């Protein structure tokens, strides 16, 4: 799962670099953000698929959400041709779903705590990072469609919100990487929703 986090980090860095370069050349960088949101959401969905893989209902919900996300992205960008805008509604729903999965993970921790210090596990920092980032950028994504054209073009002003939460999330991910202790105790209860095989 740390590899998934690594790819999420890599995607965010690449998106940052490319969008900054495009902005410097006065080119539209919205398609980069658009693509980044898709990749980031898919990776996070994969992360939660892996976490909840023994729970049929969660897996089905996860699958349906990924289908909706992909279908909507294809329709919005390729069929409707709005590659330079963000599909606020679909991304908003996906963000809410990811927030829901994160809360579900923490609920599992409450039901079956595995260590005295929950923050001593890498998994806690990863999920906290995901939750903070998605919660922080939820309104930004939701309201993006309603912003004035000038504001959209000047996305950089609002992008500070995204950057700030991205920064926090990446710090959390770094903490997760630095924690050497395995995220999951292999001897834990078999019914635990976060157990590894």
Q: Which residues bind another protein (CB under 8 A)?
A: 103, 106, 109-110, 113, 115-119, 128, 131-132, 135-140, 142-143, 145-148, 151, 158, 161
Q: Which is nearer to another protein, 66 or 118 (CB)?
A: 118
Task: Give least dist CB 73 to another protein, A.
Answer: 20
Q: Are 87 and 72 in contact (CB under 8 A)?
A: yes
Task: Give least dist CB 106 to another protein, A.
Answer: 5
Task: Give least dist CB 82 to another protein, A.
Answer: 17
Closest CA relative to residue 152, chosen from 163, 167, 141: 141
Q: Which is nearer to another protein, 74 or 103 (CB)?
A: 103
Task: Give least dist CB 110 to another protein, A.
Answer: 6
Q: Are 68 and 29 in contact (CB under 8 A)?
A: no
Distance CA(5)–CA(7), nearest Å, equals 5
Q: Which is nearer to another protein, 26 or 193 (CB)?
A: 193
Q: Which is nearer to another protein, 25 or 117 (CB)?
A: 117
Q: Which is nearer to another protein, 80 or 151 (CB)?
A: 151
Task: Give least dist CB 107 to another protein, A.
Answer: 9
């Amino acid at each position: 799962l740390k590899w998934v986090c690594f790819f999420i980090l890599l995607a965010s860095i690449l998106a940052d670099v490319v969008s900054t370069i495009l902005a410097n050349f006065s080119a539209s960088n919205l398609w980069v953000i658009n693509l980044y949101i898709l990749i980031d959401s898919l990776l996070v969905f994969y992360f939660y698929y892996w976490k909840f893989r023994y729970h049929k209902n969660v897996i089905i919900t996860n699958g349906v959400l990924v289908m909706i996300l992909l279908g909507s992205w294809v329709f919005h960008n390729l069929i409707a041709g709005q590659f330079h805008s963000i599909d606020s509604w679909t991304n908003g729903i996906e963000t809410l779903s990811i927030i829901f999965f994160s809360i579900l993970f923490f609920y599992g921790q409450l039901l079956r705590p595995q260590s005295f210090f929950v923050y001593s596990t890498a998994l806690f920092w990863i999920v906290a990072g995901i939750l903070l980032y998605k919660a922080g950028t939820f309104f930004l994504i939701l309201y993006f469609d309603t912003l004035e054209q000038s504001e959209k073009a000047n996305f950089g002003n609002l992008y500070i919100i995204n950057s700030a939460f991205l920064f926090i999330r990446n710090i959390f991910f770094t903490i997760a990487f630095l924690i050497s202790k395995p995220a999951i105790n292999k001897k834990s209860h078999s019914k635990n929703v976060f157990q590894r095989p």
